[in-house]
Amino acid sequence: MRESSSLSITTLWVANIVPVRKKNGEIRICVDFRNLNQASLKDNYPLPIMDQVLQAVTGSEMLSMLD
């Protein structure tokens, strides 16, 4: 590798690059995010209860949804 294409960084969390050989012999570059996922704070976005959603929109003339 050329010297200019290498960079050294110090960090607490790392996502390791893992080379995986495919069936046809080619190499696929994968990233292992398991350590990063364990260190990340979990977002709490519970799914709404359908009965509550239906009760909230009952009688509405218009309904808009975003997926």
The 3-state DSSP class for residue 18 equals strand
pTM above 0.85, yes or no: no
pLDDT tens column, 10-55? 777 778 899 999 999 999 999 999 888 888 888 888 888 889 888 9
DSSP assignment of 27-61: EEEEEE-HHHHHHSPPP--PPPPHHHHHHHHTT-S
